[in-house]
A and B are shown apart, each in its own frame.
Chain A
Amino acid sequence: MNDMTPLLEIKDVSKRFEYVEALKSVNLTIGRREVVALVGDNGAGKSTLVKIIAGLCQPTSGGLVVRGEPVRIGDVRDANALGIVSVFQGNELCENLNVAANLFLGRELRTGCGIRDENAMVVRARAVLDTLSSSIQVGRPVASLSVGQRRIIAIAKTLLSEPDLVVLDEPTDSLSVMQTAEVLEYTRRLRAEGRSVIMVCHDLPDVFAVADRIAVLRQGRIIAVHETCETSYEQILAEMAGIVDEDADGRGDESDGVPAGGAVGYRIRVGTSRRLIERRGEQSGLPV
């Protein structure tokens, strides 16, 4: 296979929920071995986009191309078969089962005669959690774990299937610094292993710490894609808020003219965009 073929191409993807157009012909290419962050205001379409990639919903028009071949991702199993796994905010874990059982839920290891191989699962689960340098015990029920530990379990699940593309929806949201460190380290390690990552993230310092490229979504459109080393917090925040300097970025799409939150702050200078974002009631990664 030609190594230069992009891993995933999102081509002209639109999504309409009745009267709301969540995504408007979005184009984005994810290469091999890269971490792409999706940032944007509330309702910008980030979650819809990753749900389409994960197979949780279908685009109204447009499609996805994986490794150069057009595909239809009907559900999560289709996505998994293509080497795409996702971790969502909800942490879909079963409270009554222990950590090992949760990790292997739906893909239990079996012995030669088809019986569940508990020992093999515990050993493998321990090995996977070990690579995340996590101190969670595999025999503990998920009900007794903290939010951060549950997030680690959800992320550890992705490691079991050796994926090519990992989709992380708000991976560091509501985590402690130590757990954030683990998740960001893990993201870097995925990339080092030759995998690609799409992360939706609000915390700009975390985005800048691990992402190779940052795609800014606003009102269902990708208005800019930046190499992380060539951009700044101020520029990203300005674009999220809809204060785009047309001269600085030719891809800037300002045809709507009004930022997502209405007319408030449209003329606000870049330096004050922090206040603008806060006013919209969403916690942003602020330029600190």
Chain B
Amino acid sequence: MARRTNGSQASLRRANQASLLESIHRFGAMTQVELAEITGLSTTTVSTQVHQLVQEGKLETRNTVRNGRRATLVALARKQGLGVGLSITRRDLIVVVADYAKDVIARRRLPLPAKHKADTTLERAVRLVNEMLENAGADAGEVVGVGVAVGAPVDYRAQTVAVPGILPGWNGVDIRGPLATAFHVPVVVDNDANAAAVCEGRVGAVAGRQNFVYIGTNDGVGAGIMVNGDILHGVTGLAGEIGHIQVDPLGSICSCGNRGCLNTIVDETRLVSLLSVTHGNMTLEDLVRLANDGDPGCRRVIADTAVRIGTVAGDLCISVDPEMVVVGGNLAMSGDTFIEPFSETLQRLLFPNALTPIRVCAAAHPDYGAAPGAAIMAIEVVEKRSLLQG
């Protein structure tokens, strides 16, 4: 496997093909001339490689007109349709368009104001999706399903935010309606940790594994529990909301209304306030970036948080007995600063002589996994329905 192939014709061809595919992934459909310009390859090479990739079923070509001349528009091959995934958190909207091969063909992040309202955000999301489809050379009619990952506990039956107050402006809002009206396709709404777990389990760090737990550490903590390849929702859809497990009976009141939840200790405001005397105003991203730059104070805050989350994750692991624990979210982007103390705490709490020790690994898409996960969920729901219908 580790055979050196540097300099061979085959490896050059592979590198050129990878570069072509990556450019179309990133910039959407474009003509062969534009591809040549962006990749720096000659037009002849582009033409040959595109031809080969079309034969392999990875690309497809259409005739188009550029500057009054006929041209060949090259796009990623889309078998059977596209899934759209939205991830909505307190400060961001991420939109992803994925094809049936679960490859992301377009991704955009739109920063949102705090306390954004459901109606405007969904309306902007619909416009953003349409623009992204157009940019990728696709048609809205190709969308087969829309998945929405919400950064709050979701009532899986009603498909709305289950606990009021956690995502202000979204309480009891019909999320499915506006999207179903806009695209005329099935819409699935789920919690962001569940969606991220699906992403990691299908195309991420634990691709192909059936039993694992995903821990998402953004502004607050959530978990997605994968059992035999399916997300464990529970009766209401609130399974895995470990951020609302009590860790301090005398602690602060949480946004859910209870006292001393894990989320009161690991939320963004609380973490950056620990550094306000020495570091001034910061955001969670600043905290992680400074920790990665080696700032001892920030590393300490992240390591302490990892221990607190690890303690609760230990309880969860004893309850569900997973094969692996995948850690994603902002805090996980600090790498070993988070993973090591987390893993150490977790192992300390688990059975010392377990038959199979639980391994901990970092997520492949720690910052945006929920959106592709939602798209994959939507595609899977549609696939399942078509199977059932015959």
On A, residues with C-beta under 8 Å from B are 33-34, 126, 133, 135, 137-139, 144, 176-178, 180-182, 184-185, 187-188, 192, 204-210, 212, 228-229, 288
Q: CB distance B30 to A177 under 8 Å?
A: no
A-B pairs with lowest CB-CB distance, top 9: A208-B113, A135-B27, A181-B110, A209-B111, A178-B131, A184-B111, A177-B128, A177-B127, A209-B113
Hey, which chain B residues are within 8 Å of A33, CB to CB?
286
B117, CB-defined interface residue at 8 Å: yes
Q: CB distance A185 to B27 under 8 Å?
A: no
Hey, which chain B residues are within 8 Å of A208, CB to CB?
113-114
Q: CB distance A176 to B38 under 8 Å?
A: no
A36 CB, nearest partner CB in chain B, Å: 13
Q: List 17 A-B contacts (CB under 8 A).
A: A126-B38, A135-B30, A135-B135, A137-B30, A137-B37, A138-B37, A176-B131, A178-B108, A178-B132, A180-B110, A181-B110, A188-B111, A192-B286, A205-B120, A207-B113, A208-B113, A210-B111
Hey, which chain B residues are within 8 Å of A204, CB to CB?
113
Q: CB distance B131 to A177 under 8 Å?
A: yes
Task: Apart from A178-B128, A178-B131, list 8 A-B contacts with CB within 8 A.
Answer: A126-B38, A135-B26, A137-B34, A180-B110, A185-B109, A205-B120, A209-B110, A209-B113
Complex Cα distance, B162 from A264, in Å, reads: 45
Q: Closest residue to B282 on the A side, CB-wise?
A: A33
Complex Cα distance, B120 from A208, in Å, reads: 14
Q: Closest residue to A3 on the B side, CB-wise?
A: B280
Q: Closest residue to B91 on the A side, CB-wise?
A: A209
Hey, which chain A residues are within 8 Å of B308, CB to CB?
none
Q: CB distance A177 to B38 under 8 Å?
A: no
Complex Cα distance, B37 from A138, in Å, reads: 8
Q: CB distance A288 to B28 under 8 Å?
A: no
Hey, which chain A residues are within 8 Å of B128, CB to CB?
177-178, 181
A192 contact from B120, B132, B285, Cβ within 8 A: B285
Contact with A along B367-382 (1 / 0, CB 8 A): 0000000000000000
Complex Cα distance, B122 from A71, in Å, reads: 47
B116, CB-defined interface residue at 8 Å: yes
B356, CB-defined interface residue at 8 Å: no
Hey, which chain A residues are within 8 Å of B131, CB to CB?
176-178
B365, CB-defined interface residue at 8 Å: no
Complex Cα distance, B289 from A224, in Å, reads: 32
Q: CB distance A288 to B120 under 8 Å?
A: yes
A237 CB, nearest partner CB in chain B, Å: 14
Complex Cα distance, B269 from A229, in Å, reads: 11
B124, CB-defined interface residue at 8 Å: yes
B12, CB-defined interface residue at 8 Å: no
Hey, which chain B residues are within 8 Å of A184, CB to CB?
110-111
Complex Cα distance, B111 from A207, in Å, reads: 10
Q: Closest residue to B127 on the A side, CB-wise?
A: A177
Hey, which chain B residues are within 8 Å of A178, CB to CB?
108, 128, 131-132, 135
Hey, which chain A residues are within 8 Å of B124, CB to CB?
177
B173, CB-defined interface residue at 8 Å: no
B112, CB-defined interface residue at 8 Å: yes
Complex Cα distance, B286 from A177, in Å, reads: 26
Assuming the contacts A135-B135, A137-B34, A137-B37, asked whether A192 and B108 have C-beta atoms less than 8 A apart, the reply is no
Hey, which chain A residues are within 8 Å of B38, CB to CB?
126, 137
Complex Cα distance, B117 from A125, in Å, reads: 38
Q: Closest residue to A227 on the B side, CB-wise?
A: B281
Complex Cα distance, B28 from A135, in Å, reads: 8
Q: Closest residue to A135 on the B side, CB-wise?
A: B27
Hey, which chain A residues are within 8 Å of B281, CB to CB?
34, 212
